[in-house]
């Protein structure tokens, strides 16, 4: 693989991929509800451009806190991944 910043980011966070798979749908739903309540008339495509990276970053942050605060439960819940 080519050593790039993006590759390093993916490799470093690959351990969070299963949790990201589990929680991406609720995060997207929350983002959608937040988008719908915004008073500004923001185009729909902006939501779809911003939702994926926000979802990935939020899932990484949540995974780190989940593993830090409840490491044993996280290991059991995620199958030791």
Q: What is the pLDDT of residue 16?
A: 83
8 in any annotated domain:
no
Residue 56 covered by a domain = yes
Find the domain containing 53 and state its range. 18-77
- Is 68 inside a domain boundary? yes
Q: Token pair for residue 16?
A: 């969070």
pLDDT tier at 17, thresholds 50, 70, 90? confident
Residue 1: is its pLDDT beyond 80? no
pLDDT tens figures, 45-63: 999 999 999 999 999 999 9
- Model confidence at 27, pLDDT cuts 50, 70, 90, reads very high
Local structure of 79: helix, strand or coil: coil
Domain tally for the chain? 1
pTM score of the predicted model: 0.78
Residue 81 has pLDDT above 70, yes or no: no
CB 75 within 8 A of CB 68: no
- Judge whether 37 lies within some domain: yes
């Amino acid at each position: 693989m080519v050593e790039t910043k993006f590759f390093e980011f993916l490799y470093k966070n690959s351990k969070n991929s299963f949790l990201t798979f589990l929680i991406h749908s609720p995060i997207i739903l929350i983002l959608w509800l937040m988008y719908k309540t915004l008073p500004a008339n923001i185009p729909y495509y902006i939501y779809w451009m911003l939702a994926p990276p926000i979802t990935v970053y939020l899932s990484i942050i949540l995974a780190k806190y989940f593993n830090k605060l409840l490491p044993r439960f996280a290991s059991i819940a995620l199958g030791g991944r």
